[in-house]
A and B are shown apart, each in its own frame.
Chain A
């Protein structure tokens, strides 16, 4: 390998093996959405019949897109901005756009982990009492009127600071000793803890009622467009594709690794965990419905409502409630931390590559401002509203837009998918045919564009959750646009002279021939 490429790789760090990479990638993909989003999406969209659109979405969009990210990062061996820059000099802005999105996500994602960590302790004495909803918004978050204030809530701020300290320590330790080592420990712990939770949930009275509600198929749902949109949306959001994470992680894997085989493991592990989450969550909801003498649809919910209102209510009623609470909220914390680490690594890696900074220097340069913004915006009585708006808009008009733009650009503008297919096939245990290029160039962008247009119309017609217009304009629409603009401006900053901007694979092959 040439001196320039070698210099770059020595500084960037790498995973010690493919196994560590796979665990880190699973850690990124398996996040809060697997636990609190998939079960309800499946239940609402055909129950047992949902497996059909879900599987089709996985095979026609999720896995192909995952392999695109893997191919890009593995071929060009850089962070998202560097990989796009090496693919084509005009493509770098897409990488910085992804970096910006990750910075924004990291800021609010840490807050949810902090809440879950606090709730793991609340579970021990059921501190929320008989009314978990009033406790969440009143006693715990002390939520006031929507806005942006500076009234800090110590019960949120303190765990938030601790989350950031832990994450920055992992980041400062580096790719293998930090991210890799954390994944090797956390992912098995997460799977074991969640399996234990499922086993406990299945022993509860009424568990079968919940499972019946989740898996009874509604075949008529397959004729509804919204169900297919939900399947593609769930697959897309749960796989951590399209915003730089898998590009970055793939750049840390050995040059001759099997990326297609690894992609299948990550994709099916992610979906397999979602199924496990569905079983655990609906067994618990079935118990709650039976205990309350109501139907499952009256207790079924998702997101914050499931985690911080429905589960505390379940914990109140269930035998071994404290155990269920610690396992559930502990799983949320572990799944959240491994995902947060991957999100912030996209930013750190981009900054390191561009400015040739040290690992610790880049971790602090990125992590400290992110932590401060996170604490100021989310550690207050208005944090829950800020989180809700940013999460809603950056997912739809940040991640979705950049994902469609990067797929179309790589397929139709820079014409790189053929090269990436050859690269994936060179050492891949599973060969991808030209059909993969059609899925990436047409099917996946078409499906995501359809979702995007629907979301765009919905959000224009009805202001999200009735929040004040100024909040939606600044923290919602404005932030989503600003991230893209800043991304393309950052692409204009020149690279250091020592950064190799050619194709590392071409250079490596030249060197192998000459040696």
Chain B
């Protein structure tokens, strides 16, 4: 692989997979409120 291709691959990985990691870290940090009961699906 050429150097430019390797660099762009690493940038894409860092942005998209890094973005996912940050997003997951964020929602784990902020739990919010879960529903008290699961409504029946009648």
Contacts and interface: CB of A to CB of B under 8 A. Distances in A.
Considering residues B1, B8, B17, B41, which has the most beta carbons from chain A within 10 angstroms of its beta carbon?
Answer: B41
Considering residues A215, A255, A274, A358, which has the most beta carbons from chain B within 10 angstroms of its beta carbon?
Answer: A215
A17 interface: yes
A201 B40 CA distance: 45
Contact of B39 (A14, A261, A269): A14
Contact of A13 (B11, B24, B29, B40): B40
B1 A212 contact: yes
A18 B7 CA distance: 36
B31 to A, nearest CB: 8
A494 B29 CA distance: 44
Contacts, number: 128
A429 B26 contact: yes
16 contacts: A11-B40, A13-B39, A14-B35, A14-B39, A16-B35, A18-B32, A47-B5, A176-B38, A212-B2, A214-B5, A215-B9, A258-B30, A261-B27, A269-B23, A271-B16, A358-B42
Contact of B9 (A17, A211, A257, A264): A211
A148 B42 CA distance: 39
Contacts of B16: 268, 271-272, 274-275
Q: Is the interface of B mostly helix, strand, loop or mixed?
A: helix
Give the bracket for the number of chain B residues in contact with chain A. Answer: 20 to 34
Contacts of A265: 20, 23-24, 27
A10 B5 contact: no
Contact of A359 (B4, B7, B27, B41): B41
A274 B13 CA distance: 11
Contacts of A11: 39-42
A462 to B, nearest CB: 34
A22 B28 CA distance: 13
Interface stretch (A48-56, A305-313, A317-325): A48-56
Given A257-B32, A265-B20, A272-B16, A359 B42 contact: yes
Interface of A: 9-14, 16-18, 22, 47-49, 51, 55, 174-177, 208, 211-212, 214-217, 253-258, 261-262, 264-265, 267-269, 271-272, 274-275, 279, 358-359, 427, 429-430
Nearest to A264: B23
B5 A215 contact: yes
A425 B27 CA distance: 14
Given A11-B42, A265-B23, A358-B42, A429 B29 contact: yes
A358 B41 CA distance: 8
Given A13-B39, A214-B5, 18 more contacts: A12-B39, A14-B39, A16-B35, A17-B35, A18-B32, A18-B34, A22-B27, A47-B8, A176-B38, A177-B41, A208-B1, A212-B5, A215-B12, A265-B24, A269-B23, A271-B19, A274-B16, A429-B27
